[in-house]
Chain A
Amino acid sequence: MSELPKQWQSVLPHLGHTLPEDVAPPSSGEGVSVNLPMELVRQSLSQREFWDIPEPVLEQYRRYRPTPLWRADAFARAVGARVPIYVKYEGGNVSGSHKFNTALAQAYYYRKAGVTELVTGTGAGQWGTALAAACAWFGLRCTVFMVAGSLRRKPYRGTLMRLLGATLHESPSPLTEVGRAVSADRPGNSLSVAIGEAVAYAAERDGCAFAIGSGETYSILHQSVVGTEALDQLGALDAKVDAVVGCVGAGSNFGGIALPPFAAAVREGRPAPLLLAAESSTTPKLTRGVYAYDRTDSAGRGPMEAMYTVGSEFAIPDSHSAGLRYHGAAKLLSAMRFHGQIAATAVGQADALSAAHTFVRTEGVLPAPESGHALAAAARLAVDGVRDRDADHRTTEGVLVCVSGHGLLDLGAYDQLLAGELHDEIPDEQLIRLATANLGRPR
C-alpha cells in the first residue's frame, strides 16, 4: 500500500538553469502590492526542494489520495505497444481532474491570508469545479467566469459548480470591461478573456482575490504530489519506466507527473527519463510556437512571462479539449523545453478521443478528452516512437502516462466521435507567425 506524500517537491534546484525574470505590466505609478499569499510567492521563487503540505490540505488529500496507478496491459495490447504502459489516474475526485490538487492548496493559503472570495476563469470547467469544491471545503465564496461556448457544450459542468456553491458567469460577460470589449466579429482568445474578466472582477472587490489553476510555478509544485506518489507506486510494483507522458494545457498536469521523476534522476545522478508533453494540435505552442515574452491573460494586468506561445491574441480553433486551449506553456516548462529537457508532440482531437475510446473499452475508465491526448501520445511512443526537433525518441523499458481527468461530463464530444463527426482544425502557419510577430525574446 503506497502512502500519500507529506511534502511537495520543487524541481527548481535541479534545473541547472534559472527562469527568465517576468516583465512587469505597465505601472500605475501608485506604489506596489503583493497579490499572492506569501507562501505561494516563496513556492514560486525559492530554491527550496521540499515543502511540507499543510495538515488541513493533507486532510483533504486523504479523501481521494493516493490515486490509482496500474499497468494498463489491455490498453497496451490493443494499441500494439512494445513496452508496458503504466497509468496514473487523477479523475477520481469530486472535481474530476488533477486541478483539485492545487485548488485545495490555494484555497487554504488564500483563506489563511484573510481572503473571503476567490474568482477565476475556466475553459473546460475542470478548474472552476475544482476551485468551487476547494472553496466550499475551506469556507470561501467562489465566482467563476466560464467560456460561454464551453458552458453551452457542457452545461452539467455549470450545474456541478453551482451545486458546490459557486456563482457562475458566462464569459464574455457584461460584468467587466474586458468582457464588454469583446466584439462578436472578433472573438479573440476565449480562455484568456475569461481569465482577464476574473482578474478585473477581483481587482474591484474587497476581500476578493484572483486565483489561477495552472501555469504558475506554485501550481506545478502542488501537482508534484502526483509524480511523487507515482514513483512510490512504481517502486512497489518493481516497475521501470524510461518515459513519462502528460497532456499540456498550461502545464501543471504535465509538470506534476513528469518533474518528480526528472528531479529524482538528477538527484541520483541517473539520466532523466524522456519527458514527453502532449499538446493539442489546435494550440501547438511547444511544437510550432515561439519562445517569447507573452501575456498570461487578455487584460494584460499580469506580468509578461517567457513562454512557448502561439500568441495570446491568437484565435484558437475550436476543439472539445477546452482544457488544452491555452496559448502558452508555463514559464517553468517552457524554460525546460528551451534547454532541451522536454520533448513534445501535438495530437489532434480525433486521435485523442479514439485513444480514449480504446481506453474505456480496455481499462474501464473514460478519460477526459484532454487526457486522451496523453494516451494517444503514449501509444505513439510505445509503438513507433516520436520524432521531435530532429530527434527520434523511443522507449525500451516502459511508459508512465497521467490520465488527468474523467470524461463523464464530455459525452457530447464522444457522441460526435461515434457519429464520425470529429474534425481537426490545424492552425495556419501564417496566423501563428502573425500572432507572435511583435513579442520580445528572452535574453
Chain B
Amino acid sequence: MTNTLDEAALAVVVKQVLLAESRLRMDPADLRDDEPLNGGLLRVTSMGFLGMLIKLEDVLGIELPDDIFVGRTFTTVDDVVQAVRGRVA
C-alpha cells in the first residue's frame, strides 16, 4: 500500500515520527535533512530510536532488515530516511 511512496513523501513520514519522538510540534517541511538526531532541536535517544523504528515499520508497513544495527550510527534525519528507503522501494 505505502510501497508507492516517493522519496519526498517518505521523508515527511520519517520526519513526523522523529518530531513526535522529540515531542516537538512543528511542520515536518521545516525540519532539515541534515538536522542532527541528537542535537539542539531533535532529542532522539538510542532508546527512543528503537521505539521509533518500530513505529516506522508499522506506519509504512515494512520490516527493517535485521542487520540495520551492525556497526552503524545514525547521525542525521537523512540517515534514517535512507535506511528506510531501501525497504520501501
Q: Which residue of A30, A45, A113 contacts B38 across the interface (Cβ within 8 Å)?
A: A30
Bound-state CA distance A38–B44 (Å) is 18
Chain A, 11-55, CB within 8 A of any chain B CB: 21-25, 27, 29-39, 41-42, 44-46
Bound-state CA distance A114–B57 (Å) is 21
Bound-state CA distance A21–B39 (Å) is 21
Bound-state CA distance A67–B70 (Å) is 35
**Inter-chain contact B66/A32, CB cutoff 8 Å:** no
**Inter-chain contact A27/B69, CB cutoff 8 Å:** no
**Inter-chain contact B53/A41, CB cutoff 8 Å:** yes
**Whose C-beta in chain B lies nearest to the C-beta of A45?**
B54
Residue of A30, A41, A109, A206 with most partner-chain B CB within 10 A: A41
Q: Is the interface of A mostly helix, strand, loop or mixed?
A: loop
CB of A152 within 8 Å of the partner chain: no
**Whose C-beta in chain B lies nearest to the C-beta of A303?**
B47
**Inter-chain contact A31/B38, CB cutoff 8 Å:** yes
**Inter-chain contact A38/B74, CB cutoff 8 Å:** no
**Inter-chain contact B53/A112, CB cutoff 8 Å:** no
Given known contacts A33-B69, A113-B69, A207-B71, A45 and B64 CB-to-CB distance under 8 angstroms: no
Total residues of chain B contacting the partner, CB 8 A: 30
- The total number of A-B Cβ pairs within 8 Å is 84
**Whose C-beta in chain B lies nearest to the C-beta of A31?**
B75
Residues of A within 8 A of B57 (CB): 42
**Inter-chain contact A38/B46, CB cutoff 8 Å:** no
Digitize B31-61: 1 where CB-to-A-CB distance is under 8 Å, 0 elsewhere: 0000011110000111111110110010000
**Whose C-beta in chain B lies nearest to the C-beta of A21?**
B47
Given known contacts A45-B54, A207-B71, A38 and B49 CB-to-CB distance under 8 angstroms: no
Q: Which residue of B37, B38, B47 contacts A22 across the interface (Cβ within 8 Å)?
A: B47
CB of A4 within 8 Å of the partner chain: no
CB of B4 within 8 Å of the partner chain: no
CB of A115 within 8 Å of the partner chain: yes
Bound-state CA distance A25–B48 (Å) is 11
Residues of A within 8 A of B64 (CB): 38
**Inter-chain contact B69/A36, CB cutoff 8 Å:** yes
**Inter-chain contact A33/B46, CB cutoff 8 Å:** yes
Q: Which residue of B51, B67, B73 contacts A114 across the interface (Cβ within 8 Å)?
A: B67
**Inter-chain contact B69/A31, CB cutoff 8 Å:** no
Given known contacts A31-B75, A206-B71, A38 and B38 CB-to-CB distance under 8 angstroms: no
Given known contacts A30-B75, A31-B73, A32-B45, A45 and B66 CB-to-CB distance under 8 angstroms: no
A103 to chain B, nearest CB (A): 18
Bound-state CA distance A46–B38 (Å) is 25
Residues of A within 8 A of B49 (CB): 32-34
**Inter-chain contact A38/B66, CB cutoff 8 Å:** yes
Which residues from chain B sit less than 8 Å from chain A, CB to CB? 36-39, 44-51, 53-54, 57, 63-76, 79
Q: A35-B46, A39-B66, A207-B71 are in contact. List 18 more A-B contacts (CB 8 A).
A: A24-B46, A27-B38, A31-B36, A31-B37, A31-B76, A32-B45, A33-B69, A33-B72, A33-B74, A35-B69, A38-B63, A38-B68, A38-B69, A41-B50, A41-B54, A113-B66, A303-B46, A303-B47
Some 7 contacts from A to B, beta carbons below 8 A apart, are: A27-B38, A35-B69, A38-B65, A41-B53, A41-B54, A45-B50, A112-B66
